[in-house]
Structure 1
Amino acid sequence: MPVVAAKSYIEYRNDTYWVEGTRISLDSIVYAFQQGLSPESIVQSFPLLTLEQVYGAIAFYLANRTEIDAYLAAETEAFETMPQPLQESNPTLYEKLMKAKQQKDE
């Protein structure tokens, strides 16, 4: 009887985990799973994925939960420390720039 090789559903590239062969991040699958969505519902949200890929991603997460939770926490922290758009960080300056742009366009 031939030995079946294990499939890999997740790849690590550019410092991010991805569903192998796609541009869909593991983060997206994990957040949906943590919100209580079923694998079938996740497939509906990401029609490029197969049910097998979603189950594979969830299995990868569950097998590496501590590491992936730490990775997600670090990603969230990095996102929260990113500079805010000018519209939010300095609304007065943003408004002045928009008025100047509008006058220039007239």
Structure 2
Amino acid sequence: MTLAVVAEQAPLKTNADGVVRVGNTRVTLDTVIAVFKQGTTAEEIVYRYPSLRLADVYATIAFYLNHQQEVETYLQQRQQQAQEIRKMNEARFDPQGLRDRLLARKAEKSA
């Protein structure tokens, strides 16, 4: 009996917005790598995100370890995009004003 060794592709898919997701889930590469870098094991990641398959998490971690510089560049770009979007949203919708309105509404209901 011989074992057929076949290289498998990483279970990563890029959507139309350029966001990399793991397997057939909505869990992003950003999420998996962030918790992995915090010391979370693959099993714990699957526990936190049950839509993930354990084999996909291990393959994603292996991909990250083999392509660390490229993944880090991608993650930095995603962080910059998130900051830009946050700034745009804060400029359009004053978060302090919203908080004050919600607190006032809550106080009215309590009275």
TM-score band w.r.t. shorter chain = 0.7 to 0.9
- How far residue 40 of structure 1 moved from its aligned partner, in angstroms, is 1.0
Task: Please tell me whether residue 84 in structure 1 is matched to residue 89 in structure 2.
Answer: yes
Percent identity (aligned): 28
Cα RMSD over matched residues?
2.5
Alignment of 1:18-29 (within 5 A): 18-29=21-32
1:10/1:60 contact within 8 Å kept: no
Distance 1:58 1:69 in 2: 13
Letter in 2 for 1:84: N
Residue 2 of structure 1 deviates from its aligned partner by 6.3
Match of 1:36 in 2: 39
Structure 1 residues without counterparts, runs of 5 or longer: none
Runs of 4+ in 1 over 4 A off after TM superposition: none
| Aligned partners of 2:23 and 2:52 also within 8 Å | no
